[in-house]
A and B are shown apart, each in its own frame.
Chain A
Amino acid sequence: DIQMTQSPSSLSASVGDRVTITCRASQGISNYLAWYHQKPGKVPKLLIYAASTLQSGVPSRFSGSGSGTDFTLTISSLQPEDVATYYCQKYNSAPLTFGGGTKVEIK
């Protein structure tokens, strides 16, 4: 099965900073990659699918890129409401594996 590895596992940044999270697949998955965030005590929410397509209603400061094995989620200007754990998920084939998560905090 394909493994999904996220890095870093946690980060602390200031409001307004540009934040980048990476996700690496152990084998190529084309662009079958989604990003979610889960705020404390809440259910996950879809941010991006097909590696770079912004889900409706998601702020434009979120963006995704990549294809094959290496993917990136970028928050262009970190806001206090972005405190959450971020997960990537591959969905090219079952099992639809999630990455281990990246916890984002405000410095």
Chain B
Amino acid sequence: EVQLLESGGALVQPGGSLRLSCAASGFTFIYSAMSWVRQAPGKGLEWVSGIDNTGDRTYYADSVKGRFTISRDNSENTLYLQMSNLRDEDTAVYYCAKLRSGVVVAATNYWGQGTLVTVSS
């Protein structure tokens, strides 16, 4: 059974930093591209970032480019999202997502339960 367990969400002040983690199990992690998708309270889904199966290629939404960094540790089956210079509008539930392929140009077939990031003073 595929499991994606996010952690690291917290209340943080504007301008602060946070690192999210996603522990993956139940599938061969090194074969799958991964992404982060967020959902602000009461709003729709927003794709944030993606990484291919090797970690060589990374992609970002314009709204987070230069502030967020996606990475993965294939030896630990873990996905990360380093977030810095956080803004109020980054407040959202952040979902870890497994893609159907080793490349980012693929649909998402599994989602974690999400971790809440709240940016507020």
Task: Return the contact of B47 from the options A46, A49, A95 (Cβ within 8 A).
Answer: A95
Interface range on chain A (Cβ under 8 Å from partner): 20 to 34
B104 within 8 A of A: yes
A43-B113 contact in complex given A91-B105, A91-B106, A95-B62, C-beta closer than 8 Å:
yes
Distance, CA A43 to CA B113, complexed state (A): 6
Task: Return the contact of A96 from the options B62, B95, B104, B109 (Cβ within 8 A).
Answer: B104
B10 within 8 A of A: no
CB–CB A87/B45 < 8 A: yes
**Cβ proximity bits A69-107 to B, threshold 8 Å, 1 near / 0 not:** 000000000000000010101011111111111000000
Q: Closest 6 CB pairs between A and B?
A: A94-B59, A34-B107, A49-B107, A43-B111, A101-B44, A96-B47
CB–CB B108/A34 < 8 A: yes
Residues of A37-71 contacting chain B, CB below 8 A: 38, 43-46, 49-50, 55
Q: Interface size on B (CB < 8 Å)? A: 23
Which chain B residues have a beta carbon within 8 Å of chain A's beta carbons? 35, 37, 44-47, 50, 59-62, 95, 100, 104-109, 111-114
Which chain A residues have a beta carbon within 8 Å of chain B's beta carbons? 1, 32, 34, 36, 38, 43-46, 49-50, 55, 85, 87, 89, 91-101
CB–CB B107/A97 < 8 A: no
Distance, CA A92 to CA B104, complexed state (A): 9
